[in-house]
């Protein structure tokens, strides 16, 4: 879990996501109040199967403070060989950059990863608490 200081002004906070994989990838980012899951709102998503999200404003410091930013990526690995898929899963990396807040530009690159038993579908999750 990462944390990022947004500050409390009207400054715009931006997010960019860079997913590195040879598989099919799709990413989506939401913000929510943990105490009120119905507040969840999608703020960005990938435009193609690279899974990348080009730098995008996701809200203002005031609007994002005390919320959780969740960036989830689904990856489908295509190789027909199980060992190759295992290697490809292990090689998946991701970089998430937040900027515009009190913390300035910060890169997060240690997401949680999980994959099914056949190593065909993986989920990559980076949660960041905005404080």
Partner 1 sequence: MKKITLIFGILLINVTLKAQQSIKLKDLAVPNSPAFILTDITPTLIQNPNSPKKFVLGLAQSFDKSSSGFPENYAAEFAPYWLTSSEGKNVYAAVGLKTKTDDDGNFKILNKEDIFSGLKFTSISLGFINKDLIPDGVDLSQKVFAVGARATFIKVQQDGYAKKMKGLIDEWHIAAQKDLEAYQLAIAIDASQENLDLQAKKLAEKNAQKSGALADEIAELIQQKPKFSWDFAGAYATYGIEDQDWQTGRVGAWTTLSTYIPLASANAKAIKNYFNLNASLRYLRDNFSKNDLGVITKNNNIDVGGKAALEFDQLSVGVETLYRYVNGKGNAENRTVGVINYKIADNIFLNGAFGKNFESQSKSIAILGINWGIGSEKANLPGN
Residues that bind partner 1 (CB under 8 A): 1, 20-28, 30, 32, 34, 37, 40, 42, 45-46, 48-52, 54, 68, 70, 72-74, 76, 78-80, 83-84, 86-88, 90-93, 112-118, 120-123, 125, 127
Question: Do residues 11 and 60 lie in contact, with contact meaning Cβ atoms separated by under 8 Å?
Answer: yes
Residue with smaller CB distance to partner 1, 13 or 29: 29
Q: Which of 74, 82, 71 is nearest to 119 (CA)?
A: 82
**Per-residue CA distances from 122 to 16, 33, 89, 110, 128 (Å):** 20, 26, 7, 15, 20
Residue with smaller CB distance to partner 1, 72 or 106: 72
How far apart CA 65 and CA 81 sit, in angstroms, is: 45
Q: Please, what is the minimum distance in Å from the beta carbon of residue 48 to partner 1?
A: 6
Residue with smaller CB distance to partner 1, 10 or 117: 117
């Amino acid at each position: 879990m990462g944390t990022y200081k947004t500050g409390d002004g009207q400054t715009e906070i931006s997010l960019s996501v860079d997913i590195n994989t040879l598989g099919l990838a799709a990413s989506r980012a939401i913000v929510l109040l943990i105490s009120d899951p119905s507040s969840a709102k999608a703020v960005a998503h990938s435009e193609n199967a690279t899974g990348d999200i080009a730098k995008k404003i996701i809200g203002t410091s005031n609007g994002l403070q005390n919320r959780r930013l969740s960036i989830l990526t689904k990856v489908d690995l295509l190789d027909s060989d199980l060992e190759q898929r295992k290697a490809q899963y292990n090689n998946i990396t991701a970089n998430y950059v937040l900027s515009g807040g009190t913390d300035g530009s910060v890169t997060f690159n240690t997401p949680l990863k999980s994959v099914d038993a056949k190593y065909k579908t993986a989920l990559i999750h980076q949660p960041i608490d905005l404080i």
